[in-house]
Chains A and B, each alone.
Chain A
Amino acid sequence: MKRKNLEKNSYTYMLLGLMAVTLLFFTILKGNLMWKGDVWLGMAMQFPEYGVITLGLMFCFICGKMDMSFMALGDFATIMAVRYMSAHADGASQVGVILVGILIALCIATVGGVINGLLVAGLDIPPVMATISMQLVWTGLSVALTNGNSVKGLPALYTEIGHKYLFGFLPVPLLIFLVVFLVCMFLLQHTVYGEKLYMVGTNIKAAQFSAVNTRRMVIGTYVLCDVICCIGCLIMISTMAGAKADYGTSYVMRCILILVLAGVLPNGGMGKIGNVLIAIVTIQIIATGVNMFSNLNTYYASLIWGALLLIVLIMSTRMGSGGFPFRLRAAKQGSGKA
């Protein structure tokens, strides 16, 4: 909790300001259309899947590592889960089948995370290289299994989850997102793991010299990252009613973008989970806003995202230490002398 006091809050205010500006922008252009309940419910249905995935990747970033394989791994895990569930869909207990299916996906994600962790922490392969290789491996496996087609035949109960409202107003995916968010927040702010994670991310060598089991930290973080990402993919297949080798590949860049926007840089050791939430919602507002222009290609959303990211990066480099959690320039590790 004390970490909050330290990392200055002004970056959070800037992100909130950014969100307000985007809201204002679309309100001016589209008027009340932006403020209909349906629009907001729609957003609440859409962002949880990549929101959860982003939260997973966040752990990797804070640890100072990179994961490029999480979507490919998630796709493969969900393909296996869907294959199992569709094969047993007509069985007696739908709930049991679904639970086993979810378990299969999570187990595969765990294995994938362990492999990533071993490659990076055990064999000292640079994280980007190791995880890109694994991305190709998982995608290759998925395509080989499915010929690149989507796998369908999910139990009806499972596809309903993705579209269901609890108590008539709370979308189930949003509920899952909130639970994952709270768990992540707890992990980061109230556990020894979270404490060590920031230290390992800042300087893994110093952590090693302080008798921290850095290898276990890195492997554990990759597992955590990939399992949380897999939860996101499990939401995704529910809304898409099937799994495919390339579902959600576009999420890789989107998640990285959200994290950098939120000030969680892959250099490690920095960033707050609250800022990640704000960044996720901002990105969703832009996507929804662009969607309201029927004659506008949805790719304009990514154009705006890119521009937004550039603005944030330029501001944080130009303004130096003025309350930003990170500085890109003058990143030299000073000796602390005056």
Chain B
Amino acid sequence: MLLMTGIDKRFGGVHALDHVNFAVRPGKVMCLAGENGCGKSTLVKIISGVYTRDEGEILFEGQPIHRITPADATRLGIQVIYQDLSIFPNLTVMENLAINSEITANRRIVNRKRWEQTAREALSKIGYEIDLYAKMGDLSVADKQLVAICRALLFNAKLIIMDEPTTALTKKEVDALFKTVRQLRDSGIAIMFISHKMEEIFEISDDVCIMRNGKNVYSGPTSELTKKDFTYYMTGRELVDNYFVPTNISKEPVLKVEHLTWKEKYHDVSFDLRKGEILGITGLLGSGRTELALSLFGLGKVDSGTILMNGKPVKITSPIAAQKLRIGYVPEDRLTEGLCLQQPIADNIMLASLKQLTRTLGTIRHDEVFEKSNEWVKTFSIATDDAHKHASTLSGGNQQKIVLAKWLNNDLDVLILNGPTVGVDIGAKQDIHALVHDLANNGLAVIIISDDLAEVVVNCSRVVVMKDGAIVGEMTGDEITEENILEVIR
């Protein structure tokens, strides 16, 4: 259906795409896989007409395409569902579905009945039901995605490109999405699915195309690929799961939480945490896992219960108080909570520990900020040539390393990591995991909050499972398996 040969694209000195070939077959799901920054997005933007290619040929349904604009792409039946979904959050589902066809039909007068009809027709295509009058912004990411798919179908889409659609979804929502994708595939629509999550790719795709550094290193049927090959193609190196082996667990717990309750979010949570241990807290979205962490970091409420640090009861009323108690927190949403994107990498790394560099009269020397942060750039091998560059110039994995460095530059007893590898590619993920293992074995108490079960299983020496604001299970050592966790989580 779509055949691309020898696509080449340069941005200045950067060779973003190096003679890439790939093909999408009708009625098949094609996965485009690769780590962040490998050129996936650039390729998609060439197909959708946002960028123009320097070299190469594109055939769509046998017809060569020379120049392509976003409008052309829509007319040809190519629809891209971007990560940010391009919806109108303040309008209703119905309006979001109907608005494009109203505009293309050049109508000027609103007819609610017709709108409703268009919207219903769109929803019926995938047999999806939702309140037409719900505000788009109030929907979950998963619902937004399905609405976006419905809207794409209204344009008689022949090829739907989904740009990392599962990033913000829970396991259940992913399953629902995959059901829809299969349904579309069976109706003859070609799907191009962009992802870097191995499990998903093996589950959903018929063909796979793996890119690395702007080249496609593998393309062919998914069934001919083993997981090990896949990882190798993605990262260019052999990776093995390094299970965490605690070597240095302290006798006394450093942090002890007793009957902690935040009325609206979670209730009666008790656990303890020793130095040298990695405690996993897992649960579905809305199980109270994030809120619990916020309470420990002074940004959430505590209605009753006690927190003990080194045996002494403490009140954590703000992040400043948490920092004094040597608790650090790497937040869930790196972009809004973790980083000042439009500021230098160096300043971001030092933000939580400027006290160390403060001189008389509250003065500070910027070259010291730079030097100190450069040490972290080296230790964590953050991929930048100049720490004066903005944090926004880095990929997800490297950005996460900045947030980690920011807290590790403080002397910590407890480090809470919330979704430490969300949106991070496999290579960087392994780096971060190895780093956390080292930290724990050097005497840090670590909490990992995650709904990525594989991550929890590999990294944690003990796991607490939360559901509806309460702890429903705790396991240690060999009991920690994905199956055991799934059993209590649902």
Nearest-Cβ distance from residue A185 to partner chain B, whole angstroms: 13
Q: Which of B36, B366, B395 contacts A3, CB < 8 Å? A: B366
Bound Cα distance from A337 to B366, whole angstroms: 28
Bound Cα distance from A202 to B335, whole angstroms: 12
Stretch touching chain A among B103-111, B197-205, B336-344: B336-344
Given contacts A192-B354, A193-B362, A211-B319, contact A202 B341 (CB under 8 A): yes
Q: How large is the interface on A (under 10, 10 to 19, 20 to 34, 35 or more residues)?
A: 20 to 34
A209 within 8 A of B: yes
Stretch touching chain B among A84-92, A120-128, A165-173, A328-336: A328-336
Given contacts A202-B340, A210-B351, A338-B36, contact A192 B364 (CB under 8 A): yes
Q: For A193, A195, A196, A212, which residue has the most chain B Cβ atoms within 10 angstroms?
A: A195
Bound Cα distance from A198 to B366, whole angstroms: 13
Interface pair B335/A335, CB less than 8 Å apart:
yes
Nearest-Cβ distance from residue A179 to partner chain B, whole angstroms: 17
Within 8 A of A (CB), among B375-413: 388-396, 399, 406
- Chain B, residue nearest A269 (CB): B342
Q: Which of A5, A199, A337 contacts B37, CB < 8 Å? A: A337
- Chain B, residue nearest A334 (CB): B392
A270 within 8 A of B: yes
Q: Which residues of chain A have C-beta atoms less than 8 A from B63's C-beta?
A: none
Within 8 A of B (CB), among A268-318: 269-270
Q: Which of B352, B367, B396 contacts A336, CB < 8 Å? A: B396
Interface pair B39/A338, CB less than 8 Å apart:
yes
B329 within 8 A of A: yes
Q: Which residues of chain B have C-beta atoms less than 8 A from A193's C-beta?
A: 362
B322 within 8 A of A: yes
Interface pair A202/B351, CB less than 8 Å apart:
no
A6 within 8 A of B: yes
Q: Which of A195, A205, A269, A336 contacts B364, CB < 8 Å? A: A195
Q: Which residues of chain B have C-beta atoms less than 8 A from A333's C-beta?
A: 335, 341, 392
A129 within 8 A of B: no
Within 8 A of A (CB), among B153-172: none
Interface pair B41/A338, CB less than 8 Å apart:
yes
Given contacts A209-B331, A209-B337, contact A202 B343 (CB under 8 A): yes
Nearest-Cβ distance from residue A264 to partner chain B, whole angstroms: 14
Interface bits B41-69 vs A (CB < 8 Å: 1, else 0): 11000000000000000000000000000
The count of A-to-B residue pairs whose CB atoms sit within 8 angstroms is 122
Bound Cα distance from A84 to B340, whole angstroms: 47
Q: Which residues of chain A have C-beta atoms less than 8 A from B339's C-beta?
A: 203, 206
B347 within 8 A of A: yes
A213 within 8 A of B: yes
- Chain A, residue nearest B37 (CB): A338
Given contacts A2-B370, A196-B354, contact A336 B323 (CB under 8 A): no
- Chain A, residue nearest B39 (CB): A338
Given contacts A190-B363, A191-B362, A337-B41, contact A209 B347 (CB under 8 A): no
Bound Cα distance from A257 to B346, whole angstroms: 32
Q: Which residues of chain B have C-beta atoms less than 8 A from A207's C-beta?
A: 340, 351
Interface pair B363/A191, CB less than 8 Å apart:
yes
Q: Which residues of chain B have C-beta atoms less than 8 A from A212's C-beta?
A: 351-352
Given contacts A195-B354, A213-B320, A338-B395, contact A6 B341 (CB under 8 A): no
B440 within 8 A of A: no
Interface pair A210/B336, CB less than 8 Å apart:
no
B423 within 8 A of A: yes
- Chain A, residue nearest B392 (CB): A336
A208 within 8 A of B: yes
B369 within 8 A of A: yes
Bound Cα distance from A337 to B336, whole angstroms: 16
Bound Cα distance from A213 to B354, whole angstroms: 12
Given contacts A190-B364, A336-B392, A336-B393, contact A210 B341 (CB under 8 A): no
Interface pair A336/B341, CB less than 8 Å apart:
yes
Nearest-Cβ distance from residue B442 to partner chain A, whole angstroms: 22
Q: Which residues of chain B have C-beta atoms less than 8 A from A203's C-beta?
A: 336, 339-341
Bound Cα distance from A322 to B280, whole angstroms: 46
B484 within 8 A of A: no
B358 within 8 A of A: yes
Interface bits B312-330 vs A (CB < 8 Å: 1, else 0): 0000001110110000010
Interface pair B338/A206, CB less than 8 Å apart:
yes
B309 within 8 A of A: no
Q: Given known contacts A199-B340, A210-B319, A211-B322, what 14 new A-B pairs fall within 8 Å (CB)?
A: A5-B388, A195-B354, A195-B369, A199-B348, A202-B343, A205-B336, A207-B351, A209-B297, A209-B319, A212-B352, A337-B37, A337-B395, A337-B396, A338-B38
29 contacts across the A-B interface (CB closer than 8 A): A1-B366, A2-B369, A6-B344, A6-B388, A6-B389, A192-B363, A193-B362, A195-B354, A195-B364, A198-B343, A199-B351, A203-B340, A206-B337, A207-B340, A210-B319, A210-B351, A211-B320, A211-B322, A269-B340, A334-B392, A335-B335, A335-B423, A336-B392, A336-B396, A336-B399, A337-B37, A338-B38, A338-B39, A338-B42
